């Protein structure tokens, strides 16, 4: 007799939820993914930069980002070979120093590093098409990604095992057979033996205890039309902000960060901050004009390390990826699936809510 398929309920249709769905489906699970169509997901941003990590730091976040880059690049290659559009529009990254610590780190890049090399502004112009305002590091890894396309590709890879539906989950209810997602009216939306919360800032509504670690952070990115000078940019720029190469004649620059701010209205001052950064990095004669903007909300943690692990019996979470989602969500999905199967990777001791002692400095957000 064949074993009855395992079932999973995943709440969240961004990168974290889509990556978890792809991993479980590949392992034979039947997955129901509920995506809140009205959510201001950070993964809905039109374009983002996946920046590589340089230097030999061994702190948990750097280790996670470094390992995560390997996993994400592997997934991108697999998806593209399978014919999926995962939104990769450029490869490589120009890393500019955002502060003195970055400058010191850039100076320590060894001359024989196979991935990264120190470049002067003139070197950079020859390599990527624009002349930046300072020395930097040209890294062959990293990329410009359209996150919604990557999330869609992850769900499509095993479409036969992943049922995606819209709807707002108001609460999760535990019962003998697992978990049920309910609407505000108390209607059951889906039931499964295992549930994973991957809903970004909405995680705190579904599991209030997670407010100890998760705090919303408002971010605004701004679009402007490519100029004759900026259109030559061939790789994204990262450093105290980011700029994408032109996609359909449009650059995206960002993103501002306001922790604890949940105002969805675009702000002119945020556009000016972003556009001034673009002017400086691209050497434009004047600040460009905003033609579009995106406001989204990241779930962040006090130490910027994602929250990944077990919350209760057959209930798990992957959240708090902040600005690192392109690097950390695929890796988190693998770590989570392994943990569900009883195999805990050592990295989980830094990520799991069962082990963490960190938290926000006040308990105001618990009220």
Name which of 22-31, 39-48, 255-264, 340-349 the model is least confident about: 39-48
Confidence band, pLDDT 50/70/90 cuts, at residue 300 = very high
User: How is the chain split into domains, by residue range?
Assistant: 7-44+149-214+302-366, 92-142+215-300
Report how far residue 132's alpha carbon sits from residue 119's, in angstroms, rounded to the nearest whole number. Answer: 10
8 A C-beta contact, residue 271 and residue 222: yes
Residue among 30, 232, 251, 21 nearest 144 (CA): 251
Q: What is the pLDDT of residue 362?
A: 44
Report how far residue 145's alpha carbon sits from residue 153's, in angstroms, rounded to the nearest whole number. Answer: 12
Confidence band, pLDDT 50/70/90 cuts, at residue 366 = very low
Residue located via tokens 């990115």: 221
Reduce the DSSP state of residue 224 to 3 states and report it: strand
Query: Of residues 112 and 335, which shows the higher confidence score?
Result: 335
Mean pLDDT computed over 3-32 = 92
Per-residue model confidence as pLDDT tens digits over 101-130: 888 888 888 888 889 999 999 999 999 999
CATH class of 7-44+149-214+302-366: alpha beta
Edge-to-edge, what's the strand order for the sheet holding 307-312?
A: 162-166, 30-35, 7-11, 194-197, 315-319, 307-312
**Cα separation values, 153 from 81, 97, 115, 146, Å:** 12, 33, 27, 11
Report how far residue 256's alpha carbon sits from residue 276's, in angstroms, rounded to the nearest whole number. Answer: 12
Residue located via tokens 């490589």: 92
Mean pLDDT of the chain: 90
Counting residues of the chain whose pLDDT is more than 90, the rounded percentage is 77
Per-residue model confidence as pLDDT tens digits over 125-178: 999 999 999 999 999 999 999 999 999 999 999 999 999 998 899 999 999 889
- Token output for 259: 């922790």
- Token output for 297: 């909300």
Query: Which CATH number is 92-142+215-300 given?
Result: 3.30.9.10
């Amino acid at each position: 007799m064949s074993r009855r398929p395992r079932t999973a309920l995943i709440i969240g249709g961004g990168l974290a939820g889509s990556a978890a769905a792809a991993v479980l489906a590949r392992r034979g699970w039947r997955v129901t993914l509920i995506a809140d169509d009205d959510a201001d997901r950070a993964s809905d941003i039109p374009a983002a930069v996946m920046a590589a990590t340089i230097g030999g730091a061994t702190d948990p976040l750097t280790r996670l980002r470094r390992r995560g880059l390997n996993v994400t690049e592997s997934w991108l290659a697999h998806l593209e070979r399978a014919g999926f559009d995962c939104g990769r529009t450029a490869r490589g990254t120009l890393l500019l120093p955002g502060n003195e610590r970055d400058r010191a780190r850039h100076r320590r890049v060894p001359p024989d590093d196979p991935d990264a090399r120190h470049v002067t502004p003139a070197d950079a112009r020859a390599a990527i098409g624009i002349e930046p305002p300072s020395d930097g590091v040209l890294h062959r890894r990293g990329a410009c990604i359209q996150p919604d396309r990557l999330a869609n590709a992850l769900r499509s890879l095993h479409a036969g095992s992943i049922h995606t539906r819209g709807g707002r989950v108001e609460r999760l209810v535990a019962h003998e057979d697992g978990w049920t997602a309910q609407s505000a009216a108390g209607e059951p939306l889906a039931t499964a033996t295992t549930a994973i919360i991957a809903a970004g800032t909405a995680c705190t509504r579904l599991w209030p205890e997670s407010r100890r670690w998760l705090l919303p952070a408002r971010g605004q990115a701004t679009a402007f039309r490519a100029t004759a000078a900026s259109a030559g940019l061939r790789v994204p720029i990262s450093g105290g902000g980011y700029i994408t190469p032109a996609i359909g004649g449009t650059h995206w620059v960002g993103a501002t960060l306001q922790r604890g701010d949940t105002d969805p209205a675009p702000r002119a001052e945020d556009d000016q901050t972003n556009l001034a950064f673009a002017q400086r990095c691209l050497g434009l004669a004047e600040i460009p004009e905003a033609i579009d903007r995106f406001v989204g909300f990241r779930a962040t943690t006090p130490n910027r390390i994602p929250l990944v692990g077990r919350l209760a019996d057959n209930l798990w979470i992957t959240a708090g990826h902040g600005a690192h989602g392109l690097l950390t969500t695929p890796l988190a999905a693998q770590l989570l699936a392994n943990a569900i199967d009883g195999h805990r990777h050592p990295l989980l001791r830094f990520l799991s809510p069962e082990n963490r002692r960190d938290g926000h400095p006040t308990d105001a957000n618990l009220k």
